[in-house]
Chain A
Amino acid sequence: MFSLSRMAAIARKEFYHLRRDRLTGGMIAGIPIVMTLLFGYAINNDVRNLNAAVVDEANTSGSRMLVSDIGATQVVRFVRHASSVQELERLIAAAKISVGIYIPPDFEQRRVQGRPPFVQVLVDDSDPTVLGAVRGLRNMPVGHANGGVDAIALRPLFNPERRSAVFIVPGLCGVILTLTMVLFTAIAIVRERERGNLELLITTPISGLELMVGKILPYVVIGYIQISLILALGVGLFDVPVRGALTDFYLGAGVFVTSTLTLGLLISTAAKTQFQAFQMTFMSFLPQLLLSGFMFPFEGMPRAAQLLAELFPLTHFLRIVRGIVLRDADLFVMRDDLWPLAVFFVVVMALATLRFRKRLD
């Protein structure tokens, strides 16, 4: 016989568990609050203020007017000057700017003769949303062009066919690593605690750091296997071009994997059960997924969300991996995204080691 009261007893007991398990209780409210805030405030597909540079070889009142009109659209924001198309390309590869505007010396003649294009716009299309945003610039009133050719010519630098796999696969390396590395490490340590192995280990002469690093190492290897798989699939099935050096890709990935693993370690020092570890991993993963620039354009987020995103390893790795794979950048060029990973590693590793005491109290 099905007994309602027995069923109610089970349900009541479950609430007792939840009440005793503060963390899970907190997550019940925390996840929807954080997610709503992120989606509501931070995620904005309306991209504005892309970093841009201009090379104005015409330097006439007309060309200066055009540059100021483009700036007035707020689609781009001029952050630096460049002196040649080559320099624009270099700046884009290094992710200093997303858009480069080149006005040729014969700008005025072209305009008078109606011989387009009058202006060329170089676009960093390793981030697909940038290209979408910049398209609007083509409608700027620069003068009448003959023959149905745009007066402003867009020049996507990296993925002119706009194949989505090309954008997604390199980023996917970072996203999958973030999830699995953090989860594996957190679970691996919490499992030792749950099964009672840790009580034995902490009575032996092993040090906290030895235990931590020993636990991390196998997962670094696993991480490398995973990104190799993703990249191989991307190249084999989706024709993702690998423009940069593989050594740079693997070195950068190594730095990223080690730094993101420490997050798993930190979680493991706080979580008491594997279930809690899983929840905390999820909690740390979603903001990274949403704010890093993988799903939604980084440029479209408000300043506060961007600052928050700068703390996440995934944000920096996405830039590094897109730079190396799609824009043929090298690690030295991407150094501004490497050092935050190193800082993250040092800080979080220190926190985790401090929190992991070889005592039970």
Chain B
Amino acid sequence: MAHAIETRGLTRRFGMLTAVDSVDLSVPEKCVYGFLGPNGCGKSTTIRMLCGLLRPSAGSATVLGVDSVEQAETLKQKIGYMTQRFSLYEDLTVVENLRFMTEIYQLPRRQRGLVVSRQLERFQLAGRERQLAGTLSGGQRQRLALASVTMHDPELLFLDEPTSAVDPESRREFWDIIFELVDQGATVLVTTHFMDEAERCHHLAILDEGRLVAEGTPSQLRDSIPATVVELETTRSRKVREALASLPAVLDVAQLGSRLHALVNPDVDAPVQYLERALNEVSLPAECRLVMPNLEDVFVMATRSEAR
């Protein structure tokens, strides 16, 4: 399979801090590649290096077949980067912003009007042409931002937390657009905090403290989780959680509403009985059953502090 991005030992240091620590990535072409990780784990820094905005302190990145540092300028014609912060001009209207970007990307003069109306249509901004970008809602702003970085039909798109300030309805619409772009041949690298969004990605990479701690398709990641997942139903979730955390075989506990997910060391033979026995001893009975791990469990396992 051809790769849109390949990095070897990609590292970036800021003074004493190592923001990205020898990351080896292979992002296949024409897919949605998700970057998952806690805040400050190096997602944005990695993206900035891949875009040629930051020089790696060590290692290298090959993006669309060329070196991201040496050929940064040729690369800029083929990529689109939607920054975490809204970076269009809030005091310009929707159309003025789009028009400006067609000029910056040097689209042929005759096509500019067409492309702008195509993007307005495609990103559901028709009717808002004369509205100032600063007065758009969160979802509209993100659609405008995506519209403006896709007008030159980039082969590779970087979306840095595109939906973090967006309501669920708009998020769904936004993801429909992402899949449409991939259908048309683009590769999309997207960072997110939302597990439902991670579930939609073709491939995932989990970053923690600058290191790549897990990589694969969502189902690969679920299958290869180094823990057995036991779901517990209880009314006294806080107490139960404390009791579980003190058990040596319990690696971590995640709470999902009234249910708890205990990540148990896979070496434990009968994890359900093990937990029931332990909880009975402290008179905290709970209903336990074995469940399939979900991505949240994968994420908790990969980023838990004991793993390091």
List A residues at the B interface (Cβ < 8 Å): 195-206, 358-361
Contact = CB atoms under 8 A, between A and B. Distances in A.
Interface string B19-56: 00000000000000000000000000000100111110
Contact of A206 (B51, B53, B89, B104): B104
19 contacts: A195-B87, A196-B85, A196-B86, A198-B87, A199-B53, A199-B83, A199-B85, A200-B87, A203-B53, A203-B81, A204-B101, A205-B105, A205-B106, A359-B54, A359-B55, A359-B72, A360-B48, A361-B54, A361-B55
Nearest to A211: B104
**Residue of B48, B77, B90 with most chain A CB atoms under a 10 A cut-off:** B48
The A interface, classified by DSSP as helix, strand, loop or mixed, is loop
Contacts of B77: 205
Contacts of A197: 87-89
A200 B73 contact: no
A197 B83 CA distance: 9
A361 B51 CA distance: 13
A195 B221 CA distance: 38
Contacts of B80: 203
Given A199-B53, A203-B80, A360-B48, 5 more contacts: A195-B87, A200-B88, A205-B76, A205-B105, A360-B53
A205 B73 contact: yes
A196 B83 contact: yes
A195 B86 CA distance: 9
Contact of B54 (A196, A205, A360): A360
Interface in B85-141: 85-90, 101, 104-106
B79 interface: yes
Contacts of A202: 53
Contacts of B73: 205, 358
Contacts of A199: 53, 83, 85, 87
Nearest to B52: A359
Interface of B: 48, 51-55, 72-73, 76-77, 79-81, 83, 85-90, 101, 104-106, 149
A200 B105 CA distance: 12
Nearest to B77: A205
Contacts of A198: 87
Contacts of B106: 205
B108 to A, nearest CB: 14
Nearest to B53: A360
A314 to B, nearest CB: 32
B119 to A, nearest CB: 16
Contacts of B48: 360
A205 B78 CA distance: 9
B83 A200 contact: yes
A209 B133 CA distance: 27
B83 A359 contact: no
A201 B149 CA distance: 10
A197 B97 CA distance: 11
Nearest to A210: B104
A202 B54 CA distance: 11
Contacts of B79: 203
A18 B50 CA distance: 34
A205 B72 CA distance: 9
A205 B104 contact: yes
A43 B83 CA distance: 51
Contact of A204 (B85, B90, B105): B105
A360 B104 CA distance: 19
A197 B85 CA distance: 9
Nearest to A204: B104
Shortest beta-carbon contacts, A-B, top 8 = A200-B87, A203-B81, A196-B85, A196-B87, A205-B76, A360-B53, A204-B104, A205-B77
A254 B101 CA distance: 30
Nearest to B101: A204
A150 to B, nearest CB: 64
Nearest to B158: A203
